Amino acid sequence: MLSSFSRSMRSLEADSPRRPVLALLFATTLILAWTAWLFLARVAVYEVSDRADLQVDRAAHPIEAQFTGRVVSSYMVLDREVKSREVLVELDADAQQLQLKEERVRSTALAPQIGALQSQIQAEETAWQQERQAAPVALEESSARVKEADAGARLAEEEAKRQDQLFASGVVSEVDLHRARSAAQERRAAADSLRLGVSRLERQQLTQDSERQAHVQELKTQLVQLKGQRATAGAEIERLQGEVSRRSIRAPVDGRLGEVANLRVGSVVREGEKLGAVVPTGNLRIVANFLPPDALGRIRPGQHARMRLQGFPWVQYGSLSATVTSLANEVRDGRIRVELTVDSNSGSHIPLQHGLPGTVEVKVEETSPAALVLRTAGRLLASPRSTSDSSRPAAESHEGS
């Protein structure tokens, strides 16, 4: 046993100079390999979004109540396929239906009144035209009678003069002279009366013409008022029809109900209240939000990305392969919007649907591990300096105070 122990000790003493050399060679090789990997290897650099979700390439349309009212019926079922203009919710419209019926009755009653008034106006205008045509004939007739009376008066006056001459000669008696003078005066008075009748007839015709014109104008005014009432009733009917129609809340587009409110018959909805949303049929896209320093100048259209969905462990389900399609130029709510398309050869077995949340990783570059280490070190060194620079003005202001 002592001899075996002695041989072991001698073997160890013989091997002791080789072990440090082998260890040194191994360490040197390891350092060289690690250095080569550090500077020569290429690793992918990804920018990760704060939030991302799957959306249909057409925006979801909200379903809102345009009036306050009581629910009469509801056909909103989550994930149900709907067509454009399909009725989803009906609100109580009994009061509007009653007003609509009243306006229709009033409009219907105005139609025969307007027709009768139009016929009356036409008859009045016809009679007025006939009177205006008959007026000159009546004036000519009266003027002819005046001329006839003037001729008779002149003849009687000449006869009276002749009787006066004969009375001077003693041929006729004084009675015959007075009879002739009376006849002449009577004829002249009759002629003057007829002349005054012509003037009276002219004034009477003017008065009748004015009265007829005023009456026709009054009828036309009444006609305009009735037509105005009918137009007002028609506008009110259209308004009530529109209100009744809008109390039937319809689907804005074809699609599926992606969100529905808990509506029961008899419940009251308020004007502007959101009752649900219709997700239109279309291709799915990814919408992600990045911090501006991570996105601006680094993310570009055409870059490859992958999306990991919440609730679907990527080890089991994998991730979605995507491609950047567009990038916003303006910051909104402190984030940059990035849109991506899902690659057709993604190979994921996840049932894709609108609204699935997750995160997006965009491959922005490939660089060496050494560059990543130096970049990280630079950020760590810059952070304390920026902190001290930001605190320096506060300290100076404190000293000044």
Confidence of residue 7 (pLDDT cuts 50, 70, 90): low
Give yes or no: residues 286 and 367 share one domain: yes
- Expressed as residue numbers, the domain containing 112 is 95-245
Question: Which of 25-34, 66-75, 79-88 comes out lowest in average pLDDT?
Answer: 25-34
- Is 161 in the same domain as 303? no
**Same domain, residue pair 236 and 134:** yes
Residue at 397 is within a domain: no
107 and 69 co-located in one domain: no
Chain-centroid distance of CA 346 in Å reads 40
Say whether pLDDT at 201 is over 60. yes
On whether both 100 and 209 belong to a single domain, the answer is yes
Angle, alpha carbons 9-12-16 (nearest 5°): 145
Inform me whether the pLDDT recorded for 399 exceeds 70. Answer: no
Region for 252 from its dihedrals, namely left if φ exceeds 0, alpha if ψ lies in -120 to 50, beta otherwise: alpha
Burial class (CB in 10 A: 0-12, 13-18, 19+), 317: middle
160 in the same domain as 239: yes
The burial class, CB within 10 Å (0-12 / 13-18 / 19+), for 2 is exposed
Please tell me the predicted confidence (pLDDT) of residue 117: 87
Mean of the per-residue pLDDT values for the chain?
80
For residue 260, the tally of other CB atoms under 10 A from its CB is 18
Q: Say what the pLDDT of residue 350 is.
A: 75
> 264 and 194 share a domain?
no
For residue 237, name the pLDDT band (cuts at 50, 70, 90). Answer: very high
Closest CA to 46 of 308, 325, 287: 308
Whether the pLDDT of residue 112 is over 80: the answer is yes
Residue 2 is assigned to a structural domain of this protein: no
In a domain, 335, yes or no: yes
Q: List residues bridging with 338 in a β-sheet.
A: 288, 327
pLDDT value at residue 396: 35
Per-residue model confidence (pLDDT) at position 136: 75
- Does 301 lie in the same domain as 174? no
Could you tell me if residue 160 is inside a domain? yes
- In the DSSP assignment, the letter for residue 308 is E
Asked if the structure places residue 34 within a domain, the reply is no
Q: CA 74, CA 253: separation in Å to the nearest integer? A: 18
Domain identity same for 79 and 195: no
If pLDDT is split at 50, 70 and 90, which confidence band does 324 have?
A: very high
As a whole number of angstroms, the distance between CA 51 and CA 33 comes to 39
Residue 65 belongs to a domain: yes
Is residue 35 domain-resident?
A: no
Instruction: Say whether both 162 and 227 belong to one domain.
Output: yes
Does 223 lie in the same domain as 341? no
Residue that wins the pLDDT comparison between 266 and 179: 266
Looking at the structure of the chain, the number of domains it has is 3
Asked if residues 242 and 129 have their Cβ atoms less than 8 Å apart, the reply is no
pLDDT at 289: 92
Report how far residue 39's alpha carbon sits from residue 366's, in angstroms, rounded to the nearest whole number.
Answer: 12
- The CATH number linked to 187 is 1.10.287
For residues 353-378, give the mean pLDDT.
79
pLDDT band at 347 (very low <50, low <70, confident <90, very high): low
Average pLDDT of the residues in 114-123: 88
Task: Report the pLDDT value the prediction gives residue 140, as an integer from 0 to 100.
Answer: 76
Give the model confidence (pLDDT) of 260-294 as tens digits.
888 888 889 999 889 888 888 777 888 999 998 88
Instruction: With respect to residue 389, please indicate whether it lies within any of the assigned structural domains.
Output: no
Same domain, 240 and 311: no
CATH number of the domain that 327 lies in?
2.40.30.170
Query: E strands of 171-328, at which residues?
Result: 248-250, 255-260, 268-269, 274-280, 284-290, 304-309, 320-327
Q: Between 212 and 347, name the one with better pLDDT.
A: 212
Q: Distances from the Cα of 39 to the Cαs of 63, 185, 370, in angstroms?
A: 58, 149, 6
Beta carbons of 364 and 46 less than 8 angstroms apart: yes
